């Protein structure tokens, strides 16, 4: 994680206080005496004099291999699941049953339990987490509740943007962010909580005022191995509701039933886009609070809706395209309602949001005669919803063009399914690279096109060239979707990240098309 925050040296913890924080199974060494722990890390390369090193068993490597290196660099304490054979007299070693839980407990204490002072709101699900979380954050800030955001590759504290390596940071990084938010005056934190984070105990020990479930679709089966395992991971978050907290469920999604199993009825808020009120709430029979949205009209850029609160109907304009974005807004509105905000204030604040970076983000103003969108859709369900939305909203005589790929070193099973969906819903498909990582891009494309039975596709592994070519195909009224990378400003190839922006390539290509310059002439870079 790249943090532009104040050094954590302003925080400290007496070395022996660790004994109370983590309840060790065994203790070795006692050389730290009354020394101060001034820094926490799970990376031995980051150890400095006064550090606590927590040895984590990862999927790529085992932190226990680097305990000796950490001690040599000046670690005053080590938390591990197995004591090393060589015990240095200068260090305190604590053997624990679960190093990840111990990391979370220690980090919370190190940062003086600051997470208990913040209203935590967690968003989980396969798709829609980022949009929903950012909508909630904006709604809270607009209604006088200063809120920070933690999510896909980004932490936002006021005007400060901090780049993150993952959706939900490791526990010690997470508590550092909480501390920075509290110091900046935040009263609330809205955060995306990934299934990986739940399984790997990154949010262990946190209590959430509200937890939101968006949906559950095919993704991350390279990590979870089955949809049952994936769903069980998501469900863990609902065990972490604060005693006074509440949960919001997209009750249009069948998985909401399982997610709600461990939540008491009075804490359950259901939201739906279905007009037949009685037909859908049978899925969560214990639901105590219902909030609905009726879509009255839709265009390529927005929807007119009525928000149905328990005692009031409020009209609003959703400035984001598609039915799924109406659900994202409805989920955010339901959170606001659960927190006691006035329905009119909820509607006004959410209606003011017309774009979320990389989420059905419109590139250009449509003055070229065609419409171009960038979306993070990288799962079969997300790609289907994005394409289905645009197909329904585009002019009937115009074409829908899509550019997409699949990430390397990730779930292979979804690749042919995404190829099938793209070919069935789009008129022209350009199959290209996403983040190939350590895989051969052509192999990934082979997997994608194995699911395509028609001939309406073109393979162009260079993503910039594929985007440029797609723009050259556009005619008046056509719609282009560039999917997969969304907000990302890099492309990861063979272990390196290179600057890459779908939006930048699109704007350049659109300008050159307007000027009559061919894709070949401007080199598509």
Helical axes 323-338 vs 129-142, angle rounded to 10°: 40
Can you tell me the distance from the alpha carbon of 351 to that of 139, in angstroms, rounded to the nearest whole number?
A: 10
Helical axes 380-393 vs 323-338, angle rounded to 10°: 110
Contact 281, 252 (CB under 8 A): no
The predicted pLDDT at position 218 comes to 61
Contact 372, 480 (CB under 8 A): yes
* Per-residue pLDDT tens digits for 172-191: 999 999 999 999 999 999 99
User: Encoding tokens for residue 140?
Assistant: 């809270």
Decide: helix, strand or coil at residue 392: helix
* Residue that has been written with the tokens 């997209």 in this structure: 250
Contact 303, 312 (CB under 8 A): no
Phi, psi angles (nearest 5°) of residue 448: -65, -50
The predicted pLDDT at position 404 comes to 97
Residue 127 CB coordination number (10 Å): 24
What are 117's strand-pairing partners?
Answer: none
Can you tell me the distance from the alpha carbon of 355 to that of 346, in angstroms, rounded to the nearest whole number?
A: 17
Q: What is the largest CA-CA distance in the chain?
A: 78
Contact 509, 502 (CB under 8 A): no
The predicted pLDDT at position 233 comes to 87
What are 57's strand-pairing partners?
Answer: 62
- Averages of pLDDT over runs of 10 residues in the chain (525 residues) are 50 83 87 84 95 91 95 95 92 95 95 96 92 96 97 90 89 96 97 91 96 82 70 91 96 91 93 64 74 92 93 94 93 98 97 88 86 92 92 93 94 92 97 95 96 94 96 95 92 92 95 81 62
* Per-residue pLDDT tens digits for 125-145: 988 899 999 999 999 999 999
Can you tell me the distance from the alpha carbon of 502 to that of 514, in angstroms, rounded to the nearest whole number?
A: 18
Intervals of CATH 3.40.1390.10 along the chain: 8-110
Can you tell me the distance from the alpha carbon of 477 to that of 281, in angstroms, rounded to the nearest whole number?
A: 39
DSSP letters spanning 233-262: HHHGGGGGEEEEEEEEEETTSTTHHHHGGG
Domain 361-522 in CATH 3.30.830.10: no
Fold of 8-110: 3.40.1390
β pairing state of 428-431 and 457-459: parallel
Intervals of CATH 3.40.1190.10 along the chain: 114-351
Q: What is the CA radius of gyration of the chain?
A: 24
The predicted pLDDT at position 40 comes to 96
Beta strands in 310-399 (DSSP E): 312-318, 361-362, 371-375
Q: Which of 333, 417, 356 has its CA nearest to residue 383?
A: 417
Q: Which of 19, 7, 18 has its CA nearest to residue 46?
A: 7
DSSP letters spanning 84-152: -SS--TTSEEEE-S-HHHHHHHHHHHHTTTGGGGSEEEEEESSSSHHHHHHHHHHHHHHTT--EEEEET
Intervals of CATH 3.90.190.20 along the chain: 361-522
Give the end-to-end CA distance of the chain in Å, rounded to a whole number.
28
Contact 373, 361 (CB under 8 A): yes
β pairing state of 312-318 and 303-309: antiparallel
Decide: helix, strand or coil at residue 208: strand
| CA 484 distance to own-chain centroid | 13
Mark 277-288 as b/e (b = at least 16 C-beta within 10 Å).
eeebbebbeebe
Domain 114-351 in CATH 3.40.1190.10: yes
The predicted pLDDT at position 400 comes to 97
Helix and strand tally (H, E) in the chain? Answer: 18, 26
Q: How many residues does the chain have?
A: 525
Helical axes 463-473 vs 502-514, angle rounded to 10°: 40
Decide: helix, strand or coil at residue 4: coil
Cα torsion 229, 445, 130, 267 to 10°: value is -20
The predicted pLDDT at position 398 comes to 95
CB neighbours of 367 closer than 8 A, spacing ≥ 6? none
């Amino acid at each position: 994680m790249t943090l532009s925050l104040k050094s954590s040296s302003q925080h400290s913890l007496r070395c022996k206080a660790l004994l109370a924080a983590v309840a060790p199974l065994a203790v070795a060494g006692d050389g730290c005496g009354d020394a101060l722990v001034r820094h926490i890390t799970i990376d031995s390369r980051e150890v400095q004099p006064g550090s606590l090193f927590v040895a984590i068993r990862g999927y790529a490597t085992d932190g226990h291999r680097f305990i000796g290196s950490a001690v040599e660099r000046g670690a005053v304490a080590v938390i591990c699941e197995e004591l090393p054979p060589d015990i240095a007299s200068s260090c305190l070693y604590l053997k624990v049953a679960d190093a990840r839980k111990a990391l979370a407990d220690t980090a919370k204490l190190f940062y003086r339990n600051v997470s208990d002072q913040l209203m935590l709101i967690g968003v989980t699900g396969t798709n829609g987490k980022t949009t929903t979380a950012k909508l909630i954050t904006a709604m809270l800030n607009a209604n006088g509740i200063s809120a920070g955001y933690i999510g896909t590759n980004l932490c936002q504290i006021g005007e400060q943007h901090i780049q993150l390596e993952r959706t939900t940071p490791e526990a010690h990084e997470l508590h550092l962010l909480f501390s920075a938010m509290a110091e900046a005056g935040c009263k609330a934190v809205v955060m995306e909580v990934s299934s990986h984070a739940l399984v790997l105990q990154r949010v262990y020990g946190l209590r959430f005022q509200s937890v939101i479930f968006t949906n559950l679709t095919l993704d991350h089966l390279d990590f979870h191995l089955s949809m049952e395992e994936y769903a069980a991971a998501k469900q863990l978050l609902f065990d972490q509701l604060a005693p006074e907290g509440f949960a919001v469920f997209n009750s249009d999604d069948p998985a909401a039933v399982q997610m709600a199993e461990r939540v008491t009825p009075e804490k359950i808020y259901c939201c739906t886009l279905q007009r037949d009120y009685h037909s859908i709430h049978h899925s969560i029979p214990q639901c105590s609070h219902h909030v609905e949205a009726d879509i009255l009209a839709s265009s390529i850029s927005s929807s007119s809706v009525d928000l149905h609160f328990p005692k009031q109907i409020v009209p609003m304009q959703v400035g984001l395209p598609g039915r799924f974005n109406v659900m994202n807004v409805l989920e955010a509105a339901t959170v606001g309602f659960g927190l006691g905000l006035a329905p009119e204030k909820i509607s006004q604040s959410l209606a003011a949001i017309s774009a979320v970076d990389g989420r059905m983000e419109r590139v250009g103003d449509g003055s070229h005669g065609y419409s171009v969108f960038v979306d993070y859709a990288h799962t079969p369900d997300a790609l289907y919803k994005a394409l289905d939305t645009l197909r329904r909203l585009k002019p009937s005589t115009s074409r829908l063009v899509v550019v997409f790929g699949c990430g390397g070193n990730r779930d292979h099973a979804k690749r042919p399914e995404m190829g099938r969906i793209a070919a069935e819903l789009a008129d022209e498909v350009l199959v290209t690279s996403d983040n190939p990582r350590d895989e051969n891009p052509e192999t990934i494309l082979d997997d994608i096109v194995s699911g395509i039975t028609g001939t309406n596709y073109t393979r162009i592994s260079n993503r910039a060239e594929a985007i440029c070519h797609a723009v050259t195909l556009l005619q008046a009224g056509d719609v282009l979707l560039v999917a997969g990378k969304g907000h990302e400003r890099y492309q990861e190839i063979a272990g390196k990240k290179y600057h890459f922006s779908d939006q930048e390539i699109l704007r350049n290509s659109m300008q050159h098309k307007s000027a009559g310059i061919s894709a070949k002439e401007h080199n598509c870079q």
